Amino acid sequence: MASLSREERRRQLLAKYPPPPLWKRILKELPYTCKNVIYTICRWLWLKSLGRWIFVKRTRGPEEVASLRFVRAHTSIPVPRVLPGKDILQARWSRFTSSEKLNIHTQLLGFVEELRAIPPPPSPAICSVLGGPVMDYRLCTDGPHGPYADEAEMNFQLRLGVPFDDIRRTFGNEPPQRAEDIIKSHSRRHPLVYTHSDLAQHNIMVYNDEVTGIVDWECSGWYPTHWEYLKALFTEPCDVEWRSGIHNFLVPFQFETNVDAGFGWGSPKWKCDLVGL
């Protein structure tokens, strides 16, 4: 029997699964259409009125608000209320002079030192400032996860639940040293420090060469001390000049960063199973 043509198959499918009447399709789409229209009108009105002076950022949970209050209480870092200037990405890092870059790096170094001076909690858990899950897309892409009991459990998440005994077999097709490097890196234990976890250009506000604010604390929490440097290097590939200066305000952890980069960006939606950790 000759195979059916594409048009014949389409007609058969339409006969078997006829599309709903037009009025039903309109009714189904109506809530979404109304929502988009209302949002567009409200956004336009806001931008033409108070939006010219006030920036409002929405967040999905209490963690970021708590983080802002926590950082404001323990440091002099200017976290959001109303912040002048623009982020470094908008200001174009390449346009700053060497002196201006040095001033910005020096200020960032001071802010990082203040964060590192905050005493960590007695627990070794990797967690938010509230002691709950952390929102970090390098660990999981499907929302907050954790808290992780310790660095070992966080590393278990990073390698997608592969126990140490299976690392050589799982990563055997990669360069020979890869498995040994994973074991070496994930066997290390780093002190817990309060970490922004996304010190990228778009989160650092500047006015001329003054750092006026560090924004977007959604991913912040208690992490191993190497995590800030590792995360700061995950920027756009074209940000070569910015990346080359990160060591001026963050202590480098190049070995851990190189090992982590081999896992790729954005872990799959792995739910951490501690069996075999």
Q: In degrees to the nearest 10, what's the CA dihedral of 137, 247, 189, 261?
A: 40
Confidence at residue 40, expressed as pLDDT on a 0 to 100 scale: 77
CA distance 157 to 126: 12
Q: Is 226 exposed, middle or buried (0-12, 13-18, 19+ CB in 10 A)?
A: buried
Distance of CA 76 to the CA centre of its chain: 23
Confidence at residue 30, expressed as pLDDT on a 0 to 100 scale: 76
Confidence at residue 37, expressed as pLDDT on a 0 to 100 scale: 80
pLDDT range class, residue 48, cuts 50, 70, 90 = low
What are residue 195's DSSP bridge partners?
221
Task: Give residues with Cβ within 8 angstroms of 170, minimum separation 6.
Answer: 162, 179
Query: Which CATH architecture is the domain 63-261 placed in?
Result: Alpha-Beta Complex (3.90)
Q: What are the pLDDT digits (tens) for 218-264? A: 999 999 999 999 999 887 766 788 999 999 999 999 999 999 888 76
- 178: amino acid identity, one letter: R
- What is the percentage of the chain residues whose pLDDT exceeds 90? 41
DSSP state string for 24-44: HHHHHHHHHHHHHHHHHHHHH
Task: Give residues with Cβ within 8 angstroms of 241, minimum separation 6.
Answer: 93, 94
DSSP state at residue 20: P
Count the residues in the chain. Answer: 277
Confidence at residue 271, expressed as pLDDT on a 0 to 100 scale: 47
Work out the average pLDDT over 58-69. Answer: 72
Domain ranges for the chain: 6-51, 63-261
Residue 215: strand, helix, or coil:
coil
Q: What are the pLDDT digits (tens) for 166-214? A: 888 887 677 778 889 999 999 999 999 999 999 999 899 999 999 999 9
DSSP state string for 66-104: HHHHHHHHH-----SSS--SEEHHHH-GGGS-HHHHHHH
CA distance 232 to 257: 10
